[in-house]
Amino acid sequence: MIKYMNNKSLDDLSVFVEVARANGFRAAADNLNLAAGSVSEAIQRIEKRLGVRLIERTTRRISLTSAGQKLFERSLPALADLASAIDDVGEDQNLISGTLRLSAPRSSSAFFLDDAITNFCLNYPTVNVEVIYDDSKVDLVSSGVDAVIRSRTLLEKETHAVEIGPALDMALVVSPAYVERHGCPKKPTDLTSHDGIRFCFGRGDRLAPWSFVTGNKKPYRVNPKPRLVVNDLASMIKTTRTGLGFCYVYRKPAEPYIASGELSSLFERNIPSLSRYTINYLTKRHMPARLRAFIDLTKKL
């Protein structure tokens, strides 16, 4: 099929992809800076050329046909790859520039990402950085970001992944006030009858697991009662300090309160470290020089 494609066909395909992404003709026209009639004509041409209907239209909305959905899913990454390739052709490989766009979980900020980005910006003053902190999954194809930083439990499908940042030590903490009222568990499995302050990934039904290991390092999980569900580490530690329940959290932000005695750390020998974060990206081909430089820097942390 590529053999018979000309510039007009490629332009029409780009218009179709934008209509599907924007979920409307007018929105696509605005994004492409085209007249609405030009967008409609492009869709008509590509449908006529393929001999199938790609988009169902009503006065209020559009929807892709099965053929349109298939074409969209195949075309979007190809066009993104092509756009990246065109950008790279014109880029001086000795000058790392442009805007690096990242999606990352909130927890990574204090652990290493703030320091990593500061170091990167100081080393590459011609690069701007945009970071969107978001704990939910991100579609690398349609989101417009260069890469997604996530924990190993949230790896994106069909992406390349490189470990970055430090290993993550965990801690189970509780306030003396809670223990005084409710008692202290003698083993991790006793936590099932206690209140827990649980971390969620984006939605309240996607709770982070509480992982432990036995004496011979066999892993297992415990699920306490979700007294509070939240997706912010600072809130988790604050409410734990008030005596609301147990909290399974990264050790680093809890360490000052453990040292002061405001929080107690339990079952330290039974808590494994988590794997390092990973940075996920779509393809190694035509990778922007700025992203390669950022990966090289963060791999050394």
Q: Is 226 helix (H, G, I), strand (E, B) or coil?
A: strand
Q: Which domains does the chain have, with CATH numbers?
A: 2-89 (1.10.10.10), 98-168+276-298 (3.40.190.10), 170-270 (3.40.190.10)
Condensed to tens digits (0 to 9), the pLDDT of residues 91-113 reads 554 568 889 999 998 878 877 89
- Name 174's Cβ contacts closer than 8 Å, sequence gap at least 6: 184, 240, 245, 246, 247, 263, 264, 266
CA distance 40 to 57: 11
| The pair of three-digit structure tokens given for residue 256, joined into one six-digit string | 């000052």
Contact 195, 245 (CB under 8 A): yes
Residue pLDDT, tens place only, 240-284 = 999 999 999 989 889 999 999 999 999 999 999 887 888 888 766
Give phi and psi for 195, each to the nearest 5. -80, 140
- pLDDT averaged over every residue in the chain: 84
User: Which two three-digit tokens encode residue 89?
Assistant: 């052709």
- In the DSSP assignment, the letter for residue 153 is G
pTM score: 0.56
Q: How far apart are the C-alpha atoms of 9 and 21, rounded to whole Å?
A: 18
Phi, psi at 266, each rounded to 5° = -115, 155
Q: Which residue has the higher pLDDT, 163 or 80?
A: 163
Closest CA to 279 of 127, 125, 119, 108: 108
More reliable by pLDDT, 11 or 293 = 293
- Average pLDDT score over residue span 183-188: 95
| Mean pLDDT of all residues in 10-16 | 85
- Could you tell me whether strands 225-230 and 195-199 are parallel, antiparallel, or unpaired per DSSP bridges? parallel
* CB-CB contact of 140 with 159 (8 Å): yes
Distance in Å from the first CA to the final CA of the chain: 46
Helices (H), the chain: 7-22, 25-32, 36-50, 66-89, 107-108, 114-123, 140-143, 176-182, 233-241, 251-260, 289-298
Q: Is the pLDDT of residue 46 over 70?
A: yes
% of the chain residues with pLDDT over 90:
35
Cα angle at 200 between 196 and 206, to 5 degrees? Answer: 105
